[in-house]
């Protein structure tokens, strides 16, 4: 943990546009935080280059080098702690978390999911929404608990689903809302402007 409690660790596996939104918000002073470390389980993740470009420390941890999920998570926890991380942000991190990670950072892990939870958890939230035929979808920032895409919801944004939408067009509409609400939710939590009681997160102040 850091002195002012404002050090972020971002976990990624891929292109890292949400990571970019966080990096940009930090750079522009819209989000008062520092990036302690960006960790990827994929060596070629484009997000690693984004982090390097922004001057953020990066670490690649290959999940295939560990016999169990727990051992991989323990290594991730060690890396986060060694960088003084206070709040962990999952940003397209394509690994299920074991209790080793969720307990080490209990209540201090956030995730962004491309649907209005509790609808369409799991993979391909956008495609699930299209196939179901809903007229409104969106994205959700929530606190991570031990169940997938489940913990208390901090912020959501809704977008319309148009009749001619494809997976790509709907995903793009949702993604631009992700980039807006993820840094905002991180800031609210760091500023203690959100109080969590049971499942319900409410704004204070
Ligand atoms: C986003 O759609 C996010 O909601 C989901 O994974 C995707 C990550 O995209 N969890 P990016 O790597 O941030 O561009």
CB 90 within 8 A of CB 109: yes
Question: What's the 124 CA to ligand 1 centre distance in angstroms?
Answer: 10
Statement: the pTM of the whole predicted model exceeds 0.95:
yes
Hey, whose CA ends up nearest to atom 9 of ligand 1? 92
| Per-residue model confidence (pLDDT) at position 205 | 78
Question: What's the 198 CA to ligand 1 centre distance in angstroms?
Answer: 27
| Per-residue model confidence (pLDDT) at position 167 | 98
| Per-residue model confidence (pLDDT) at position 85 | 98
Hey, whose CA ends up nearest to atom 8 of ligand 1? 92
Select which of 63, 83, 113, 179 is catalytic: 113
For residue 57, give every residue at least 6 positions away whose Cβ sits within 8 Å of its Cβ, in sequence order, or none: 35, 36, 37, 38, 51, 83
127-163: pLDDT as tens digits: 999 999 999 999 999 999 999 999 999 999 999 999 9
What are the residue ranges in the chain where pLDDT is below 50? none
| Per-residue model confidence (pLDDT) at position 89 | 98
Cβ neighbours around 199 below 10 Å, total: 12
């Amino acid at each position: 943990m850091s002195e002012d409690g404002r050090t972020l660790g971002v976990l990624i596996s891929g292109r890292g546009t949400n990571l970019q939104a966080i990096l940009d918000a930090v750079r522009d002073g819209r989000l008062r935080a520092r990036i302690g470390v960006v960790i990827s389980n994929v060596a070629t993740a484009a997000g690693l280059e984004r982090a390097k470009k922004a001057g953020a420390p990066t670490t690649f941890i290959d999940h295939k080098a560990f016999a169990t999920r727990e051992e991989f998570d323990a290594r991730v926890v060690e890396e986060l702690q060694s960088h003084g991380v206070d709040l962990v942000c999952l940003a397209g991190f394509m690994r299920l978390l074991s209790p080793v990670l969720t307990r080490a950072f209990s209540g201090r892990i956030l995730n962004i999911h491309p649907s209005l939870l509790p609808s369409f958890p799991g993979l391909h939230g956008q495609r699930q929404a299209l196939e179901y035929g809903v007229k409104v979808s969106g994205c959700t920032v929530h606190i991570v608990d031990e169940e997938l895409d489940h913990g208390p919801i901090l912020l959501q944004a809704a977008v319309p689903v148009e009749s001619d939408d494809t997976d790509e067009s709907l995903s793009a509409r949702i993604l631009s809302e992700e980039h807006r609400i993820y840094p905002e939710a991180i800031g609210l939590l760091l500023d203690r402007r959100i109080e969590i009681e049971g499942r319900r997160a409410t704004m204070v102040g």
